[in-house]
């Protein structure tokens, strides 16, 4: 079984899936969701509570499904998850002037030094976006192309090092061996975005309880990964203050489950004010990559707080882009096993697990090791 885990601001979601012969997508066989208080805007504040919930999640999934866990993947979505573009270069090292993996690695290492405050950040993903050789653009993979100076424009997705160290300590204490740690927005884009959208230019916005994440794709590559410290809980607090009601009542009003004695228009005004503030922050992020109002496929909105009233109207008005709120994408991919788009992140993680069986794991490790050794030797051949 492949397990995907997402530690949110108010709950942990986990999902178990397997690959079945003849099925195109991972088949969901168990789900888990539990509230927790030891997380603030996605950042762990109570390690003991989070550790206990993670252990319970895996045990529950294994008990319910009758499968053992082969791969565990974890998503990151806390405030501080961000991305940076940086340029680097390297001299081609081979005698015949053909580009090798070593040259690409050296150029990326050079680019890495250009990331602001890199000493306090953990690099989650390194994504080469564009290559140049002797000043000329290279389409696709530059391996084997001949030249002298290789340049690479790279997207680095980073996470605060302190937060990453806390997370790894929790995993080590819980004895959970993680196959991979993935930026949450990238994971959820797998089931929610089409290739056509990713090529044209699209923003995926997840409005969670404490954090709003933003992912921009163009030409089938990520351009931006960002998090904003605003979420549905902030709207709930605004309603509680504005209407002088409890947080529980405010949550019911926000979700349209409780008709309050106050005028509907007053409730809408409170929600709209917070959404407009969120749009200002989203536009600021889009402006960073010069894509404000310039995404042909528009924005796709998901997350637990994407159902608030007037959201579609405010986003379309403020962001000036086409908007789609996710609805039945997961229903189609999972044969009605999942409905809520809040499960997209953990389901997307299961697509990223290595496609192997338990017997193949050792073979794959050995193959990978010898492949790396072979590559190292090839670099020094004439």
Show Cβ contacts of residue 188 under 8 Å, excluding neighbours closer than 6 positions.
Answer: 75, 204, 206, 302, 344, 345, 348
Question: From CA 94, how far away is CA 262, in angstroms rounded?
Answer: 74
- 68 SS3 class: coil
Decide if 349 is inside a domain: yes
Give yes or no: residues 98 and 200 share one domain: no
If one compares 299 and 258, the residue with the highest pLDDT of the two is 299
Mean of the pLDDT values across residues 205-209? 94
Categorise residue 195: left if φ over 0, alpha if ψ from -120 to 50, beta otherwise.
alpha
- Quote the pLDDT of residue 356: 60
Q: Are strands 136-138 and 221-228 parallel, antiparallel or unpaired?
A: unpaired
* Nearest residue to 300 via CA among 200, 229, 158, 228: 200
Give yes or no: residues 55 and 121 share one domain: no
Give yes or no: residues 93 and 106 share one domain: yes
Q: What share of the chain is helix, strand, coil (3-state, %, to 5)?
A: 40, 25, 30
pLDDT in tens, 33-46: 999 999 999 899 99
State the CB neighbour count (10 A cutoff) for residue 315: 24
H-run or E-run covering 132: strand 121-133
Give yes or no: residues 236 and 283 share one domain: yes
- Quote the pLDDT of residue 328: 82
Give yes or no: residues 174 and 200 share one domain: no
Q: Which residue has the tokens 């015949």?
A: 96
CATH code of 116's domain: 3.30.1490.110
* Nearest residue to 69 via CA among 361, 288, 364: 361
Number of structural domains, the chain? 3
pLDDT in tens, 79-129: 999 999 999 999 999 999 999 999 999 999 999 999 999 999 999 999 999
Mean of the pLDDT values across residues 138-157? 94
Question: From CA 234, how far away is CA 249, in angstroms rounded?
Answer: 14
H-run or E-run covering 110: helix 101-112
Tokens at 279, concatenated: 């749009």
| pLDDT > 70? residue 234 | yes
- Quote the pLDDT of residue 260: 59
Mean of the pLDDT values across residues 67-74? 95
Give yes or no: residues 245 and 275 share one domain: yes
- Quote the pLDDT of residue 361: 46
- Quote the pLDDT of residue 362: 46
Quote the mean pLDDT of the chain. 90
The fraction of the chain above a pLDDT of 90, given in percent, is 76
Structural domain for 246, as ranges? 193-326
Against a cut of 0.85, is the pTM above it?
yes
Decide if 372 is inside a domain: no
If one compares 125 and 336, the residue with the highest pLDDT of the two is 125
- Quote the pLDDT of residue 340: 86
| pLDDT > 70? residue 164 | yes
Give yes or no: residues 237 and 260 share one domain: yes
* Nearest residue to 32 via CA among 54, 51, 48, 50: 54
Confidence of residue 144 (pLDDT cuts 50, 70, 90): very high
| pLDDT > 70? residue 363 | no
Question: From CA 247, how far away is CA 226, in angstroms rounded?
Answer: 28
Show Cβ contacts of residue 264 under 8 Å, excluding neighbours closer than 6 positions.
Answer: none
- 298 SS3 class: coil
Give yes or no: residues 172 and 24 share one domain: yes
User: Interior CA angle at 136 toward 133 and 137, to 5°?
Assistant: 90
The fraction of the chain above a pLDDT of 70, given in percent, is 92
């Amino acid at each position: 079984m492949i397990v995907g885990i997402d530690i949110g601001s108010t709950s942990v979601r986990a999902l178990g899936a397997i690959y079945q012969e003849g099925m195109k997508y991972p088949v969901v066989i168990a789900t888990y969701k539990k509230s927790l208080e030891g997380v603030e805007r996605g950042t762990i504040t109570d390690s003991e509570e989070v550790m206990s919930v993670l252990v319970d999640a895996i045990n529950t999934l294994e008990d319910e499904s009758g499968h053992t866990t082969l791969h565990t993947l974890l998503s990151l979505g806390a405030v501080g998850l961000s991305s940076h573009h940086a340029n680097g270069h390297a001299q081609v090292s081979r005698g015949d002037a053909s580009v090798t993996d070593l040259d690409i690695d050296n150029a990326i290492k050079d680019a890495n030094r250009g990331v602001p405050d890199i000493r306090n950040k953990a690099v989650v993903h390194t994504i080469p976006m564009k290559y140049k050789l002797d000043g000329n653009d290279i389409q696709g993979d530059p391996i084997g192309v001949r030249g002298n100076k290789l340049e690479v424009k790279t997207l680095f997705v980073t996470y605060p090092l302190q937060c990453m160290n806390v997370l790894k300590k929790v995993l080590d204490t819980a004895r959970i061996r993680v196959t991979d740690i993935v930026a949450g927005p990238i994971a959820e884009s797998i089931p929610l975005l089409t290739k056509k959208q990713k090529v044209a230019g699209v923003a995926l916005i997840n409005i969670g309880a404490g954090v709003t994440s933003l992912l921009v794709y163009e030409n089938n590559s990520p351009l931006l990964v960002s998090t904003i410290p605003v979420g549905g809980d902030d709207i709930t607090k605004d309603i509680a203050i504005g209407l002088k009601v409890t947080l529980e009542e405010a949550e019911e009003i926000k979700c349209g489950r409780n008709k309050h004695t106050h005028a509907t228009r007053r409730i809408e005004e409170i929600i709209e004010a917070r959404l407009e503030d969120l749009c200002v922050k989203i536009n600021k992020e889009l402006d960073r990559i010069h894509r404000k109002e310039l995404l042909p496929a528009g924005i796709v909105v998901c997350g637990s707080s994407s159902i608030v009233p007037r959201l579609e109207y405010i986003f379309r008005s403020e962001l000036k882009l086409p908007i789609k709120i996710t609805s039945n994408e997961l229903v189609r991919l999972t044969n009605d096993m999942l409905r809520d788009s809040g499960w997209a992140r953990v389901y997307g993680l299961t697509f990223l697990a290595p496609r192997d069986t338990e017997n193949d794991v050792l073979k794959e490790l050995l193959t990978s090791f010898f492949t790396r050794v072979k590559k190292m030797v090839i670099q020094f051949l004439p």
